[in-house]
Structure 1
Amino acid sequence: MDTLLQPGVLALGTVSAAGRPFPALVVDDRVLDLSFVAPSVRAVLQQWETAYPLLTTLAEDPTQAWQPLEGLTVHAPVEPGQIFQCGANYRTHVIDLAIAHRAADDPRPIDEHRAEIGAMMDRRAESGTPYLFLGLPSAVTGPYDDVVLPPYSDQHDWELELAAVIGKPAFRVDRADALDHVAGYTIVNDLTTRDLVFRRDMPEIGTDWFRAKNAPGFLPTGPWLVPAPLFGAPDDVRITLRLNGEPMQDESTKDMIFGVAALVAAASQITTLNPGDLVLTGSPAGNGAHWGRLLRAGDVMDGTITGLGAQRTRCVSLGGTDA
């Protein structure tokens, strides 16, 4: 199994052998069972300030009981207690969505309309606040698990995103200190049922993210959690999703309106972020709604983010078939 990590870079993951999941230190194509450190990756994160130096030491110790990654089942790297999701956080994506939903009788030329929306996004970046909401941990699944498409809609869509993983409690922190509370980063695919995003029966209440995003398995996560010092700055990495081999999303995090520090800081003004929590950073352009091509049984999504590995998920119908 190709980790798609830089040679020698350590990562955390949750893997299993013979049905027993365990927290793992991952280096190249080998893993070390970390059960002697803590029972889960979330528990490792709860002691992150002391655990991370230990992990760097273990990663360079050939006398440890390393085992091949090959043959092990890879799960989501961490079981989060809270999932903070972010909407409308990529400039190009927001512009594309607004154009796609503009009224048929809108008299403005499209270029003029795009410029107006772009100016609004610039104002948001300068003086606005992120649009945050909560997701359910029960939606989390592994990076290679099949995704069951619920039968109540045929408008399920992909949203590959960078996610920050909290390593130190954060409550009312400012942007300057926010990244000190991030242990590392991982990949998520924040699947969305498009026709459930807005309540047609109660349009005055706006969006309904509970119904649109929280079906079982609608948040493929991982494969790995790469520590922040090894990942580097999160503000210019490439996010790429391919559907059946065809590129759909291919964007840099430079297009984010609010960076990771702004998102963590904003969420922490309302509640405490705890070790293991996920902070999703929003979807870049290139969703199925943009392409006019939504998910069907049999589709295969391949997602990569620079330095974080790759995930592959296959879509199946409720009965477990791909056709």
Structure 2
Amino acid sequence: MKPAATTPLFAGPFALATLSEPASPAFPALVLPQGSALDLRAVFAEPTLTIRSLLESWAAALPRLQALAEDGDQAWQTLEGLRVHPPVEPRQVFQSGANYRQHVIDLHVAHRAPDDALSPEEARAEAAALMDQRAANDLPYVFLGLPSSITGPFDDVTLPYSVEKPDWELELAAVISRPAYRVTIEEAADHIAGYTIANDLTDRATVFRRDMPQIGTDWLASKNAPGFTPLGPWIVPAGSLPNPDDLQVTLKLNGDVMQDESTKDMIFSVARMVSYASQYARLLPGDVVLTGSPAGNGMHWGRLLRDGDLMEGSITGLGTQRTRCVAESS
């Protein structure tokens, strides 16, 4: 039977997760907001079922999952004692840069050249004008990340000894349900199964190629260390979040609030981001589209990640991830 209700873990009647018992393989699970889980391999009679394969038949699976969430006779178990893995293993990770107005303004000021003649106030005004122009006339900035950078929502994050300026970037992530290629903004929502939380860690020291400025940004070096993208804990179906463009994104560092902004501050909406990425690449079931990070990163506060730091990232309706930083010895 389902356990008694407690404080809900997420919005809506159910979510998806990838879980495991100690020393056992991970399994795809249906999770209820009060904290019970159901192994979907037995229910679907598919021993090799994964969340990604479930998403590949999302239209057929969704009504079945909705019915299971109401079925008290299933073999529900408590989440206690289970490890929570990244909810899905994507084949592709689409990342977004410069998609929150205040964040971009902060970075514009923080990354100014030493000989920039503008005052901080003038630099902020300049950046604000650029953001207004960009929202009206420009396109999203999307690049690719590596699936190997993904780690679980409660796993330790190793800070490589070679990383000089590790920073946090909490983000809303859309999870793709069916292939999307050259879809319109209006069609994009039909290709999103649900949403989860991502923390897109970045080494600010290697974002720009100082040896060849003409090349611009170096996302391989700055974002793709193993474990630099904590993902999860849950995939909450899109139907449980009717307005992804109005969710509060909050990151606490050792209990102190560092990021606390609504997705309303995004320059480009979730649907526009997915549509844009699909103009150049074929998005596949289980792929994740990160939608950018709001203001309040470490560069803004002058305080970057250190050994022992605890990051707690939450987004309205999606739950909370908690990851501790562990410094790698050289």
Q: Same fold (TM over 0.5)?
A: yes
From 120, 123, 129, give the equivalent of 1:113.
123
Compute the displacement of 1:104 (Å): 4.3
- Cα distance in structure 1, aligned partners of 2:117 and 2:211: 29
1:232 corresponds in structure 2 to 242
Matched residues in 2 for 1:3 and 1:295: separation?
30
- Correspondence for 2:40: 34
Match of 1:16?
20
Distance 1:140 1:47 in 2: 24
The residue that corresponds to 1:50 in the other structure is 60
Match of 2:166 in 1: 156
Contact 1:3 1:310 in 2 (8 A): no
- Unmatched 5+ stretches in structure 2: 1-5
Matches for 1:283-298 after TM superposition, within 5 Å: 283-298=293-308
Deviation at 1:133, TM superposition (A): 0.4
1:248-273 Cα shifts (integer Å, max 9, x gaps): 01110000001111111111001110
Are 1:71 and 2:78 counterparts?
Answer: no
- Residue matched to 2:286: 276
Query: What is the identity, as a one-letter code, of the residue corresponding to 2:220?
Result: F
1:301 and 2:307 correspond = no
2:177: which partner in 1?
A: 167
Q: Is the 8 A contact 1:143 1:311 kept in 2?
A: yes
Task: For 2:30, give the aligned amino acid.
Answer: L
Which string of whole-angstrom CA distances, capped at 9 and with x for unpartnered residues, describes residues 249-306 of structure 1?
1110000001111111111001110100000000101111111111111111011001
Say whether the 8 Å CA contact 2:244–2:263 is kept in structure 1: yes
What CA RMSD, in Å, does the superposition of the two structures yield over aligned residues? 1.5
Selected match of 2:205 from 176, 195, 203: 195
The answer (yes or no) to whether the contact 1:22–1:33 under 8 Å persists in 2 is yes
What does residue 206 of structure 1 align with? 216
1:101-140 to 2 correspondences below 5 Å: 101-140=111-150
1:96-144 Cα offsets, whole Å, 9 max, x none, are 1111222444444433432222121112111211111000000000000
User: What is the distance in 2 between the residues matched to 1:300 and 1:260?
Assistant: 28
The residue number in structure 2 matching 1:249 is: 259
2:186 corresponds to which letter in structure 1?
A
Runs of 4+ in structure 1 off by over 4 angstroms are: none
Deviation of 1:231 (Å): 1.8
Counting aligned pairs with the same residue, the percent is 61
Query: Which stretches in structure 1 are left out of the alignment for 5+ residues?
Result: none
Structure-1-length-normalised TM-score: 0.95
The amino acid of 1:81's aligned partner reads: R
* Whole-Å separation in 1 of the counterparts to 2:7 and 2:325: 22
Tell me how far apart the structure 1 counterparts of residues 163 and 240 of structure 2 sit (CA, whole Å): 41
Give secondary structure in 2 for the equivalent of 1:286. Answer: coil
1:319 Cα deviation after fit: 4.8
Q: Partners of 2:127 and 2:297 in 1: how far apart?
A: 19
The number of residue pairs the alignment matches comes to 319
| Counterpart Cα distance in 1 of 2:187 and 2:106 | 33
Q: Aligned partner of 2:284: which letter?
A: N
Q: Structure 2: which amino acid aligns with 1:21?
A: A
**What is the SS of the residue equivalent to 2:273?**
helix
Taking the aligned partners of 1:34 and 1:144, their CA distance within structure 2 comes to 22
In 1, the alpha carbon distance for the partners of 2:180 and 2:111 equals 37
CA drift at 1:221: 0.3
SS of the counterpart of 2:321? strand
Matched-pair contact (CA < 8 Å) for 2:161–2:329: no
